[in-house]
Amino acid sequence: MKGLFKSKPRTPVDLVRQTRELLIYADRSPDSRESKREDKMVELGKLIRELKLVLYGNSESEPVAEACAQLTQEFFKENTLRLLITCLPKLNLEARKDATQVVANLQRQQVHSRLIASDYLEKNIDLMDTLISGYENTDMALHYGAMLRECIRHQTVARYVLESEHMKKFFDYIQLPNFDIAADAAATFKELLTRHKSTVAEFLSKNYDWFFAEYNSKLLESTNYITRRQAIKLLGDILLDRSNSAVMTRYVSSRDNLRILMNLLRESSKSIQIEAFHVFKLFAANQNKPPDIASILVANKSKLLRLFSDFKTDKEDEQFEADKAQVVREIAALEPRDSS
Amino acid sequence: MANEEEANLQYPLDSNSYRILDEIGSGVSAIVYKAECLPVNSTLVAIKAIDLDQSRADFDNVRREAKTMSLLSHPNILRAHCSFTVDRRLWVVMPFMSAGSLQSIITSSFPDGLSEPCIAIVLKETLNALSYLHDQGHLHRDIKAGNILIDSNGSVKLADFGVSASIFESNSSHFWSCSSSMMLTDVAGTPYWMAPEVIHSHTGYSFKADIWSFGITALELAHGRPPLSHLPPSKSLIMKITKRFRFSDYEKNKKEKHKKFSKSFMDMVKLCLDQDPSKRPTAEKLLKHSFFKSCRSSEFLVRNVLNGLPSVEARFKESKLRRLASMNKSSETEEDDDEGCSVGQNIKQRRISGWNFNEDGFELDPVFPTETEGEDSVVKQVRFGGESIIKDREDEAGRDSGESNLSSPAGVVGETQVSGDTSEGHGGGGYVDSEVMIGSLMVLKRSLDDQRQQVMDLIGLLHGEEGGGGGEVSREEQLVQVIERMKMESENEKRRNFELEMEMEFLKIQISGASSGEPSSSGGAD
C-alpha cells in the first residue's frame, strides 16, 4: 500500500478526489470487513495530513499559492466539506485535528480573488447547525467549535447563526461545566457579537428584548465567577462600540440594568469591578438620564463616591482615571429632584 | 499511576468528587495538590488550582492553552483529565506522577546530577514529546527538569503547557515562574534555560529555542543544576539580558570539580547549544543522535533513580523550608555584592557577547568581546534604554526610601556607575516599549510612595512617643519592631521589584514576539 502511493506524486486535485472517495466510503459502509475498513481509515488520515501540508507547508517549504488554489477549488466543487464534517466523529484524534486545520485554512483561501468557501457555505448553511450542536458532544466540541469560528468570518454565515434559534443555546453552552468547551463556546459567542459590526448592530436592535433579558439573568447574574467576568467584559466591548450606539442608549436607560451593574461594581473581584465600571460610566455620563436612573444615582450618591475614591486599576491608566473623574463629577453634581 | 487506558475514563467536573490529600507544589497564583478522585476508584490525581482573578490574562489565551492541552495525545506528554472552574479558581485535573519532577528528584537525591544512562533515558523520552509537539506546530517554551515528570513505573512525561504550568514545581528559583506562566503570555520561560534569541527577542522565537532549552536541561541533569544557577535568578536573567557577566562569579564557578562525560553526550549537548538557531538540529534529528542509541528501558530508571526516593509530598515540604532559607541567604549575598560594588575596586567587569559551549568543562562559558564589536550594538540599545529609565527613577526614589530597598535595579545601575562606562546613559531605547516600562515604573513608584508614607508615619509615631516621654525599654522594643517591619517591607519590595522587572522583560519579549507572528500551522488551529 505504501509503495503504491509513494510511486506517483499526487496533485492537489488528486488528493482532494481521493479524500472524497474515502470519505464517501467512511460515511456509508459500516458493515464491510473490519480490517479493510481500518486500512482505509488510516489512508484517509494520511490524505488529510497531506492536504494540510499543501495548505500550510512544512518546516522546509512554504505553501504554494497555485497548489492551494487548485486544492480549494476542487474541495468546494463537490460536497467534500459536508462529508468531512459529518465523518469527523469517525476519524481518530490526529485526523480530526488535521481536518479542523484544513477547514480553517480553506475559509481564507481565495480563488480568482473570491472566497469560494463563503459561496459554498451560503448554499450549505445547514452545516452550521451541525457545527453548533457539536458543543453538546464532548468529543467533537473543540473541533467543531474551531471550524465554526472560522466559518463565521463570513458575514452571511455569521448573520445566519445570529438570527437562528441556536443563538439562545449559547447562553447555556458558555456555562458548560467542562472548561475547555465552555471557553470555546464563549470565544465563538464573542466573535459572533463583535466581528461584523453592522450585522451585530442590526441583530441587537431587532432582538434587544430577549437578548438582554437573557444576558442579564443568565450571564451577568450567573453564580459562576468566570461567566460573570467574561460577560461584563463582552458587554463593555459591545456597548462601547460606536456602531452599537443606539443599543447602548437603550441599555443605559434601564433601571434594571443599572441595578445589575451596581451589584457588579460591589463585587470583591477587582477584574469584575473594573469591567463593570466601564459599563457603569455610560449610565453616569448619559446626558439624558431618565428620572428613575437619576434618582437611583442620587440615592446612592455618597456610597458611589466613597467607592470611587479608592478605586484603582493595578496599573496606572490615564484613561481610566479620566473616566473616573468624569463619573465622579457627574454623580457629585446630581441633585435630588424637587418632586421626590 | 498514569496508564494510557485511563485517558478514556470520564473524570467528574465538580470539586466534591475529589478529596485533597496534600499540597505538592505552589506558585504565586497556583497551587498543586495531590488528591484522589472518589468516583473513579479513588484514583490519585494532581490538581492544579489556578487563581484566575490574580491573572489579568485575557481569556482567549487561557482558552487556547486549555484547548492545546486537551487535544494533545502522546505517551510522553502529560495530558489533563479535565478542567473546570471552582469559584475563582480553574482546576486542572491531571494524572498523578508519583515520582515528581526531575528537578525535585535531583535536588533531593542527586545533587551532583544523574548518571549518563539515566540522563539518556530521560532526554530521549523528552525528545519524543518535543518532536510530537513541534510536529503539531506547538512550542513548549519552558523545557527544564522541573517540567519533566516521572511516574513510579519509570515513564517520563513532559508537562506544563501554560494552564498546566510547572506542575510539582518546587524550585526556589522559580517562585515567580508560576505567575508568569499563569499570565499565559505568548512567551514564557525560565531564565536559566532561555535561549539567547528568546531573551534578546529581536530574532523571534522558533522551535529551535526549545532545542536550546533542551540542551540546558541536559546540563542540568548532568550537573544537578542549570548553568549560572549559582547566581540568584534575578541576576542571572538581568545578566543574560544585559550580557553583563561578573568575572569573579565566573571564576568561582570554574573552580568546581566536574564529572567526566562521554564524547557522544557532549557532542549532543553542543549541537543543541549552537548560538545560531538554524544550526541546531530538530527534535526529530536529535533522536537519531548516537547518544540515544542503545538507550536503556524505563525499568533502569526505576532501579537507579526512583528506588528509595522520598515521596513528592515530603520533597515539597523539604524544598519549602529550603526555599525560605535560601531566600534569606540570597538576599544577604546580594546586598553584600552591592556594597562591594559601591566600594568598587577589585571587581572585574566584562561585557560578554554570548555563550560558548565549553566542551572540556561541559559548561556554558561567556564570551568576552572587545568593546567595539558590532554585533553587540543591538543588545546595547536594549540595555541603555532600560537602564537610563531605571536610573532616572531610581535616583528619585533612592532619595526617599534608601538604596537597600531597591536591591535589584540599584544593583544593576550601581554596577554601571562603578564601571565608569560613561558612554552609556543616552541610548534611544529603540527596543524598549516605553509605555509598558513607564507603566510598570509608575506602579513601582507608587509602591515606594506608599512605603515612604509608612516610614513617615512611623517616624511621626516615634516623635510622638518621645514627646510623651515613653519608657526607655519600650522605646527600644518598638524600635526593634519597627526595624523588623521595615526589614519585611524591604524584602517585599525587593520581591515586587524583581517581579516587575521580570514582567517588563516578558512584555518586551512578548511585544517583539507578537510582531514576528506565530508559526503558520498553529495559527490556523483556532
Would you kindly state where each structural domain of chain A is located, as residue ranges? 196-340
pLDDT in tens, A66-106: 999 999 999 999 999 999 999 999 999 999 999 999 999 99
Beta-carbon separation of B83 and A184 below 8 A: no
pLDDT of residue A67: 94
**Contact between B70 and A93 using a beta-carbon 8 Å cutoff:** no
> How close, in Å, is residue B341 to chain A by CA atoms?
33
Q: Are B113 and B224 in contact (CB under 8 A)?
A: yes
**Residue A18 CB contacts under 8 Å (≥ 6 apart), including other chains:** A10, A47
A112 vs chain B: nearest CA distance in angstroms?
22
Q: What are the chain A neighbours of B284 within 8 Å (beta carbons)?
A: none
Mean pLDDT for B469-493 is 68
CA dist B24 and B45 (Å) reads 11
Q: To which CATH superfamily is domain B4-95 assigned?
A: Phosphorylase Kinase; domain 1 (3.30.200.20)
- Answer whether residue B465 shows pLDDT above 90: no
Q: Which of B82, B88, B442 sits opposite A178 (nearest CB)?
A: B82
Say yes or no for a CB contact (<8 Å) between B88 and A269: yes
Contact at CB, B85 and A225, closer than 8 angstroms: yes
Considering only CB atoms, B52 lies closest to which of A56, A63, A226, namely A226
Domain A196-340: which topology? Leucine-rich Repeat Variant (1.25.10)
* Nearest-by-CA chain B residue for A92: B73
Size of interface A-B (CB pairs under 8 A): 88
pLDDT band of residue B163 (cuts 50, 70, 90) is very low
The chain B residue lying nearest A224, using CA atoms, is B87
Q: Which residues in chain A have Cβ-Cβ distances shorter than 8 Å to B14? A: 177
ipTM: 0.90
Q: Which are the contacts of B60, defined by CB distance < 8 A and separation ≥ 6?
A: A187
Chain B: give the shortest CA distance to residue A273, in Å. 11
Chain B: give the shortest CA distance to residue A104, in Å.
Answer: 6
**pLDDT tens string B384-435:** 323 333 333 333 333 343 333 333 333 333 333 333 333 333 333 334 455 5
Mutate to test the interface with B, among A62, A139, A226 (most CBs of B within 10 A): A226
B-contacting residues in A 166-205 (Cβ below 8 Å): 177-180, 183-184, 186-187
Q: Does the distance separating the beta carbons of B66 and A180 come in below 8 Å? A: yes
In chain B, list all ranges with CATH 1.10.510.10: 100-184+205-225+262-328
Known catalytic membership, residue B249: no
The cell numbers describing B49, all together, are 488550582
Say which range, A123-127, B1-5, B498-502, has the weakest mean pLDDT. B1-5
Is the per-residue pLDDT at B217 higher than 80? yes
Q: Is the pLDDT of residue B184 over 70?
A: no
Chain A, residues 89-128, CB within 8 A of chain B, namely 93-94, 97, 100-101, 104-105
B100-184+205-225+262-328: CATH superfamily: Transferase(Phosphotransferase) domain 1 (1.10.510.10)
Q: How far apart are CA B394 and CA A238, in angstroms?
A: 42
Query: Which residues of chain B are in CATH 3.30.200.20 domains?
Result: 4-95
Per-residue confidence (pLDDT) for residue B376, from 0 to 100: 37
Instruction: Give contacts of A59 with chain B, Cβ < 8 Å.
Output: 207, 282
Q: Is B365 left (phi over 0), alpha (psi -120 to 50) or beta?
A: beta
pLDDT digits (tens, 9 = 90+) for B336-389: 333 333 333 333 333 444 556 666 666 666 554 444 333 333 333 323 323 333
**B177 Cβ partners below 8 Å, 6+ apart?**
B27, B142, B165, B166, B169, B188, B190
Distance of CA B311 to the CA centre of its chain: 24
pLDDT > 50? residue B254: no
What is the pLDDT, as a whole number, of residue B26? 81
pLDDT at B190 (0 to 100): 58
> Are B73 and A94 inside 8 Å of each other by CB?
yes
Marked catalytic residue, from B58, B112, B142, B395? B142
In chain B, which residue's Cα lies nearest the Cα of A185? B63
Say whether B13 and A178 touch across the interface (CB within 8 A): yes
Q: Do A52 and B521 touch (CB under 8 A)?
A: yes
Chain-centroid distance of CA B441 in Å reads 22
**Residues in B touching A224 (Cβ below 8 Å):** 85
Q: Which of the residue ranges B162-166, B227-231, B453-457, B490-494 would you say has the lowest mean pLDDT?
A: B162-166
Q: What pLDDT shows up at residue A313?
A: 83
Q: Are A236 and A278 in contact (CB under 8 A)?
A: yes
Residues of B in contact with A149 (CB under 8 A): 526
| pLDDT digit string (tens) for chain A, length 340 residues | 444 555 567 899 999 999 999 999 998 866 666 778 889 999 999 999 999 999 988 767 788 999 999 999 999 999 999 999 999 999 999 999 999 999 999 999 999 999 999 999 999 999 999 999 999 999 999 999 999 999 999 999 999 999 999 999 999 999 999 999 999 999 999 999 999 999 999 999 999 999 999 999 999 999 999 999 999 999 999 999 999 999 999 999 999 999 999 999 999 998 899 999 999 999 999 999 999 999 999 999 999 999 999 888 877 888 999 999 999 999 999 887 654 4
Is B260 labeled as ligand-binding?
A: no
Instruction: Give CA–CA dist B44/B3, Å, rounded.
Output: 12
pLDDT at B322: 77
Does B88 lie at the interface with A, CB-CB under 8 angstroms?
Answer: yes
Quick one: pLDDT at residue B371? 40
Residues B284-336 pLDDT 10s: 999 999 999 989 999 999 999 998 888 888 888 888 887 777 666 554 444 33
Residue B87 at interface with chain A, using a CB cutoff of 8 Å: yes
> Across the interface, do B443 and A187 touch by the CB < 8 Å criterion?
no
Distance (Å) of CA A63 to CA A76, A138, B284: 19, 33, 22
Residues of A in contact with B525 (CB under 8 A): 97, 100-101, 104, 146
CA distance B98 to B154: 10
The residue assigned the cell 507603566 is B439
Instruction: Report the length, in residues, of chain B.
Output: 526
Q: Are A61 and A106 in contact (CB under 8 A)?
A: no
Q: Which pLDDT value is given to residue B77?
A: 94
User: What CA dihedral angle connects B482, B486, B492 and B496, to 10 degrees?
Assistant: 140
Contact criterion met (CB < 8 Å) for A270 and B53: yes
Higher pLDDT, residue A265 or B234: A265
Of the candidates A56, A178, A230, the beta carbon closest to that of B520 is on A56
Q: Going by C-beta distance under 8 Å and a sequence separation of 6 or more, which residues neighbour residue A128?
A: A121, A148, A151, A157, A160, A161, A164, A166
B285 touches chain A (CB under 8 A): no
Interior CA angle at A279 toward A277 and A285, to 5°? Answer: 90
Cβ contacts (< 8 Å) between A63 and chain B: which residues? Answer: 520
B82 close to A (CB below 8 A): yes
CA of A142, closest CA in chain B: separation in Å?
A: 7
Q: What digits encode the pLDDT tens for the residues B115-159?
A: 999 999 999 999 999 999 888 877 888 899 989 999 999 999 998
Q: A49 to chain B: nearest residue by CA? A: B136
Sign of CA dihedral B456, B461, B462, B463: positive
Instruction: Select the residue from A179, A184, A188, A233 to test the B interface by mutation, using most B Cβ atoms within 10 A.
Output: A179
Q: Do B136 and A59 touch (CB under 8 A)?
A: no
Which position has the higher pLDDT, B93 or B162? Answer: B93
pLDDT at B370: 42
Minimal CA–CA distance to B525: which of B133, B126, B163, B188?
B133
A109: left (phi over 0), alpha (psi -120 to 50) or beta: beta
How confident is the model at residue B453, as a pLDDT?
67
Nearest neighbour of B83 by CB, restricted to A146, A179, A224: A179
B325 exposed, middle or buried (CB, 10 Å; 0-12, 13-18, 19+)? exposed
